[in-house]
């Protein structure tokens, strides 16, 4: 991980756990998510693995997550009407690498069948795949410090208002002044705490 630079300002970034307790949280969340939300590999994997688990009772959720995390994540997306999820090509590549590591042919086939990349809702999970110029990735200042998928997400986040991510490197980069007033949503740090925060 690279060194933090002095221009990183965490007070400029919004966290879901901060705004969920505000009286007008639905309006605020809609402000950040109505045009769509970027999603990273781990968060997308949790959605697919959770859907698969519910259907076939085979658990491929990573050791830091359980089915309750998936349920809370799904309820959050439904409650706030978050339907447009955006990924980069590198996230898709990384996702299927993780799925292959599960060594479950049915899970791989299920994921390929039920993940739509054109945003159509005829599948369980619809995403939009964003084009990304590889030359921009290669010239990014963080290319030597983080993986390609994370660099791509950070580049695309400049065009979005929110991201669902579990990645520490993405968190760190979002402290840069260029990301002021972006909403960072984490399953581990935000979604998991929603029942307590919304009481």
Q: Is residue 110 part of a domain?
A: yes
Q: Is residue 4 part of a domain?
A: no
Q: Looking at the DSSP assignment, which residues form a beta bridge with residue 39? A: 164
Contact 193, 19 (CB under 8 A): no
Q: Is residue 2 part of a domain?
A: no
Structure confidence at residue 50 (pLDDT): 92
Chain segment 118-163, per-residue pLDDT in tens: 766 555 678 898 998 888 888 888 788 888 888 888 889 889 999 9
The alpha carbon dihedral of 167, 188, 81, 93 has a sign of positive
Contact 62, 42 (CB under 8 A): yes
**pTM for this one?**
0.86
Q: Is residue 170 part of a domain?
A: yes
- The DSSP string of 51-80 is HHHHHH------TT--HHHHHHHHHHHHHT
CATH at 20: 3.40.50
Q: Is residue 3 part of a domain?
A: no
Cα–Cα distance measured from residue 139 to residue 51, given in angstroms and rounded to the nearest whole number: 37
Chain segment 22-57, per-residue pLDDT in tens: 888 888 899 999 999 999 999 999 999 999 998 888
Query: Which of 8-12, 93-97, 122-126, 141-145 is most confident?
Result: 93-97
Cα–Cα distance measured from residue 175 to residue 99, given in angstroms and rounded to the nearest whole number: 30
Tell me the residue range of the domain where 28 lies. Answer: 10-197
How many domains does one find in the chain?
1
Q: Is residue 5 part of a domain?
A: no
């Amino acid at each position: 991980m690279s060194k933090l630079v002095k221009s990183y300002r965490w007070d400029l970034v919004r966290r879901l756990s901060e705004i969920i307790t505000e009286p007008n949280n639905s309006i605020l969340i809609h402000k950040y998510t109505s045009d769509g939300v970027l999603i990273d590999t781990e968060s997308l994997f949790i959605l697919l693995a959770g859907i698969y688990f519910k259907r076939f009772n085979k658990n491929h959720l990573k050791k830091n997550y359980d089915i309750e995390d998936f349920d809370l994540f799904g309820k959050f997306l439904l409650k706030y009407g978050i339907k447009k999820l955006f990924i980069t090509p590198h996230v898709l590549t990384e996702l299927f690498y993780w799925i292959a590591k599960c060594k479950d042919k049915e899970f791989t086939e299920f994921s390929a069948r039920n993940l739509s990349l054109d945003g159509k809702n005829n599948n369980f999970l619809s995403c939009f795949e964003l084009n990304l110029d590889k030359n921009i990735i290669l010239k990014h200042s963080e290319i030597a410090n983080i993986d390609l998928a994370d660099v791509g997400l950070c580049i695309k986040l400049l065009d979005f208002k929110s991201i669902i991510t579990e990645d520490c490197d993405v968190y760190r980069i979002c402290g840069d002044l260029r990301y002021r007033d972006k909403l960072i949503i984490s399953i581990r740090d935000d979604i998991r705490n929603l029942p307590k925060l919304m009481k």
